[in-house]
Structure 1
Amino acid sequence: MANLKLKLEAFIEDVNQEDGITLRLFEKVTDSLFFLIKWAGIPFILYLLFEVTRL
C-alpha cells in the first residue's frame, strides 16, 4: 500500500509540473487524434458530399 501511495504522490507531482511526462503523453495522444481526424475525416466528408450530389 505504501508503494501505491508513493506512486500516486509522484503522479500528482508530475501532473503539477509544467512539462511533466503526463502532459507530454496527453499532448502526443491529442496530436495523434487530430492527425487521424484530419487525414481520415476530410476524405470521408468529401466522399459524403460527392454521394449527396449524385442523388
Structure 2
Amino acid sequence: MTTFQIWKEAFIDDVNKDDSKTILLIGNITNGLFFFIKWAGIPFMLYLLWVFSNL
C-alpha cells in the first residue's frame, strides 16, 4: 500500500468513530470562524450605520 492509501484509511476510520478528532477539529474551526465573523462584523455594521447617517 502507498502512504496515501494508509492515510486515507486512517482518516476514514477516524471519521467513523464517535469521538473523531477530525470532526472535533472541524467543529473548533467552525466555532472560531463564527466568533471572528461575529466580533469583526459588529464594528463594521456600526461603521456602516455611521457612514450612512452622515449622507
Cα offset, 1:18, TM superposition: 2.4
Specify which structure has the higher proportion of helix: 1
C-alpha distance in 1 between matches for 2:27 and 2:11: 17
Root-mean-square deviation (CA), in Å? Answer: 1.2
Residue identity in the other structure for 1:19: D
Aligned partner of 2:50 in structure 1 is 50
Cα offset, 1:52, TM superposition: 0.5
Give the TM-score normalised by structure 1: 0.85
5+ residue gaps, structure 1:
none
% same residue: 51
Which 4+ stretches in 1 moved above 3 angstroms?
A: none
- Give yes or no for the alignment of 1:39 onto 2:3: no
5+ residue gaps, structure 2:
none
Residue identity in the other structure for 1:27: G
- Give yes or no for the alignment of 1:10 onto 2:17: no
Residue identity in the other structure for 2:17: Q
| Number of aligned residues | 55
